[in-house]
Amino acid sequence: MVTAQPGNDAFVVFDHVQKSYDGQTLVVKDLNLTIGKGEFLTMLGPSGSGKTTCLMMLAGFETATHGEIRLDGKNINDVPPHKRGIGMVFQNYALFPHMTVGENLSFPLEVRGMTKSERESRIARALDMVQMGQFKNRRPAQLSGGQQQRIALARALVFDPKLVLMDEPLGALDKQLREHMQFEIKALHDRLGITVVYVTHDQGEALTMSDRIAVFNDGRIQQLAPPAVLYEQPENSFVAGFIGENNALRGKIEQLQDDKALVRLGNGDLIDATAVNIRETGQETTVSIRPERVEFKPELMPAGAHTLEAHVVDVIYMGDILRARLKVAGQDDFVMKYRNTLGQVKLTPGQTIRIGWHPEDARALDPV
């Protein structure tokens, strides 16, 4: 087995990690993941996909059934949580209710045996960092959700951990505050240069904050990539469907040449697509196209591309964009988004149009 070299590229390593709670099913199936120093990595996935279990194994609250977890080159499988030096922000903040904000922040420093003056200066610095300096003597119950969130963040950072884990830390906040805190956490990460492992089921949150995203499903990482790659080039139908809005057209591979595929849909129409995880002609496939990459004006479509007939079912006005639901190739859940510019063509329900796209935007993936 290869030991990872301590260095920028392998700060946290999951090496063939498996986890089972009942000895019958695997919650985490053969996880291999390397997280670099200073990276902001998000574990994204639906509930029950194994992402929180992975985080808990990293924090030391769950033990790996098989495999090795390394932190900074050292195997930490048998290191108890309090010796790992990992800061953690919990979903419900877990601020100690019987202590003031100052005492909450002082706790990790006291158990490390720091002197009072050292503690005071660190607490002041951490509170200033999250702009909560004047709340030192309040109790957590006297703070709003967003303020508690900041204190939880300050407490996880006050002892200068090498690694900070966040378990859906913004789940309990309202939308506006959540977006604001996303920005603040990201800014703190950039400023302090810490490594962050972030767990969420909110794909928007993952896209805005992360350097890389690991999409979990069924105990496996489905794709590990930077946000733009994940969104624009999903590697399988699950990722395509889970991240952002997606149109899935079912069909059969008619022709395959390198990565260019010709797909015949259920009603006999032909479309162009890029083959991703398709091996041979005649195979069933699901073609994935993002709604905003669908065009209905001939001048915007690439020359010679196949087009499809579409019936407008309804059009929803969303302010910055318009969202049209179309009936395409027998499926009436096809969505097209187009910008609400001055003089934009008006589509009305019942109208028939022709739609098309660049072949790179249509990705032929595994059948659903």
- Smallest distance from the beta carbon of 39 to another protein, in angstroms? 20
- Smallest distance from the beta carbon of 91 to another protein, in angstroms? 8
Choice between 167 and 272, CB closer to another protein: 167
**Would you tell me how many other CB atoms lie within 10 Å of the CB of residue 265?**
19
- Smallest distance from the beta carbon of 92 to another protein, in angstroms? 6
Residue type, 6: P
Choice between 85 and 204, CB closer to another protein: 85
DSSP 8-state symbol, 25: S
Rounded to whole angstroms, the Cα distance separating 366 from 161 reads 42
Token pair of 319 as six digits: 């302010």
**Burial class of residue 290 (count of CB atoms within 10 Å of its CB; 0-12, 13-18, 19+):** buried
User: Would you give the end-to-end CA distance of the chain in angstroms?
Assistant: 36
- The CA-atom distances, in angstroms, between 144 and each of 88, 132, 171, 303, 329 are 20, 12, 14, 57, 51
- Smallest distance from the beta carbon of 93 to another protein, in angstroms? 9
- Smallest distance from the beta carbon of 117 to another protein, in angstroms? 19
Choice between 163 and 224, CB closer to another protein: 163
Choice between 141 and 342, CB closer to another protein: 141
In DSSP notation, 134-181 reads GGTT--GGGS-HHHHHHHHHHHHHTT--SEEEEESTTTTS-HHHHHHH
Comparing C-alpha atoms, which of 150, 189, 157, 254 is closest to residue 42? 189
Phi, psi of 324 (to 5 degrees): -105, 130
Q: For tokens 């979903």, what's the residue?
A: 91
Choice between 97 and 268, CB closer to another protein: 97
- Smallest distance from the beta carbon of 60 to another protein, in angstroms? 8
- Smallest distance from the beta carbon of 80 to another protein, in angstroms? 8
Choice between 83 and 191, CB closer to another protein: 83
Residues that bind another protein (CB under 8 A): 59-61, 80-88, 90-92, 94, 96-98, 107-108, 111-112, 155-156, 159, 165
Q: Are 60 and 80 in contact (CB under 8 A)?
A: yes
Choice between 59 and 188, CB closer to another protein: 59
- The CA-atom distances, in angstroms, between 182 and each of 103, 169, 179 are 26, 10, 5
Choice between 52 and 222, CB closer to another protein: 52
- Smallest distance from the beta carbon of 287 to another protein, in angstroms? 44
Rounded to whole angstroms, the Cα distance separating 121 from 135 reads 15
